[in-house]
Amino acid sequence: MTVATLNQTSLQEKVTQLKEKKNAVILAHYYQEPEIQEVADFIGDSLELAKKAAQTSADIIVFAGVHFMAETAKILNPSKKVLLPDLKAGCSLADSCPPDAFRELKKRYPDHVVVTYINCSAEIKTLSDIVCTSSNAERIINSIPQDKPIIFAPDKNLGKYLMEKTGRKMLLWDGACIVHEAFSLDKLLELYKEHPSAQIIAHPESETHILKVANYVGSTSGMLNYVKSSEKDTFIVATEAGILHQMQKDVPWKTLIPAPAKEDNTCACSECAFMKMNTLQKLYNCLEKEDLEIILSQDLMEKALVPIERMLKLS
Ligand code: SF4
């Protein structure tokens, strides 16, 4: 064992001890670094983690994810102390939908039902009729009466995909995730030529031209299930590269290749810099000091809870 992995192991042990002492639970998104996923009590996508946050009896929730996810945990279980290892871990998609501009849009279309993807701020959730995740978005859209016009925000790529799947025309907010928009179609097709028996699987936050060549499009947990149940043994995976850790653990005998990004970077794949702001050390520090806490006003939490609960009832 190298010094680095030895240090990491002892830090993981310290996190586990502290977590037990403080009756804390660690919820980690699939896009977190492997060493964080290894100490987590639950690993999941947005919907799974929101449900875990709502149900936990722990006193402290350490949310290893990004800010809007930790906010959702706090809204769902307001009596808990919710900590985020780095409070600056934001999200390009959530940032692409500022509340004032969104309020203006709503004013122009007062008869529209507002559906928002969970990847938005708590304030945007207060302006929503119902929230959705990529796991349940289709069902949520289909639950809205056909004669009701819809505003969908903030992800235009997911919105376009849903319009095609449901046949519903929607007014789309012009937001996107920088990670899922980073995939290069040319490089993806080149890679596919090298692995012609591979299945291309993609998250619906990806651009339409990527989704069109995919054999499977689905949420993070949907992609995991697809790879597990498929008879194929090679997959090109178009979503944040952190998913590969859990996926490979589920199917160690299969070949998983991250889809290439437009810009060359060290791993030639797509990683979310916001997600990666959390480190094992920061996670330990925040649990020890309990200082990086998500604080939201009572009024904001009550208003944001309404569209989240509507979603959970339909999930
Ligand atoms: S991967 Fe995209 S949507 Fe997810 S947290 Fe990062 S920037 Fe936001």
Please name the amino acid found at residue 48.
E
Q: What is the pLDDT of residue 9?
A: 84
Q: What is the pLDDT of residue 3?
A: 53
119 lines ligand 1 (CB under 6 A): yes
Q: What is the pLDDT of residue 117?
A: 97
Mean pLDDT of 30-43: 96
Question: Which of 274, 276, 278 has most ligand 1 atoms within 8 Å of CB, for mutation?
Answer: 274
- Encode pLDDT of 132-149 as tens digits: 999 999 999 999 999 999
**Tokens 């998983």, located at residue:** 256
The two structure tokens encoding residue 137: 């978005």
- With bands split at pLDDT 50, 70 and 90, how would you rate the model's confidence at 8? confident
Cβ–Cβ under 8 Å, residues 37 and 8 = no
CA atoms within 13 A on the CB side of 197: 7
Q: What is the pLDDT of residue 7?
A: 82
- With bands split at pLDDT 50, 70 and 90, how would you rate the model's confidence at 296? very high
CATH homologous superfamily of 185-258: NadA-like (3.40.50.10800)
- Ligand 1 atom nearest to CA at 66: 5
Share of the chain above pLDDT 70, in %: 96
DSSP 3-state helix, strand, coil percentages of the chain (rounded to 5)? 45, 15, 35
64 lines ligand 1 (CB under 6 A): no
- Encode pLDDT of 88-118 as tens digits: 999 999 999 999 999 999 999 999 999 999 9
Q: One fold for both 3-89+275-300 and 93-177+304-314? A: yes
- With bands split at pLDDT 50, 70 and 90, how would you rate the model's confidence at 262? confident
Question: Which of 88, 119, 219 has most ligand 1 atoms within 8 Å of CB, for mutation?
Answer: 119
pLDDT tops 80 at residue 300: yes
Q: Nearest CA to 251 among 236, 234, 268?
A: 234
- Ligand 1 atom nearest to CA at 273: 6
Strands (E), the chain: 24-29, 42-44, 60-64, 81-83, 113-117, 130-132, 150-153, 170-172, 199-202, 216-217, 234-238, 255-258
Cβ–Cβ under 8 Å, residues 115 and 197 = no
Q: What is the pLDDT of residue 6?
A: 57
223 lines ligand 1 (CB under 6 A): no
Q: What is the pLDDT of residue 213?
A: 97
Residue 254: exposure state from Cβ atoms within 10 A (0-12, 13-18, ≥19): middle
- Encode pLDDT of 147-189 as tens digits: 999 999 999 999 999 999 999 999 999 999 999 999 999 999 9
pLDDT tops 90 at residue 269: no
Share of the chain above pLDDT 90, in %: 92
Instruction: Give the start-to-end residue ranges of the domains of the chain.
Output: 3-89+275-300, 93-177+304-314, 185-258
Question: Which of 47, 95, 177 has most ligand 1 atoms within 8 Å of CB, for mutation?
Answer: 177
CATH of domain 93-177+304-314: 3.40.50.10800
Report the chain's mean pLDDT, rounded to a whole number.
94
- Encode pLDDT of 205-256 as tens digits: 999 999 999 999 999 999 999 999 999 999 999 999 999 999 999 999 999 9
CATH homologous superfamily of 3-89+275-300: NadA-like (3.40.50.10800)
Neighbour count for residue 165 (Cβ, 10 Å)? 14
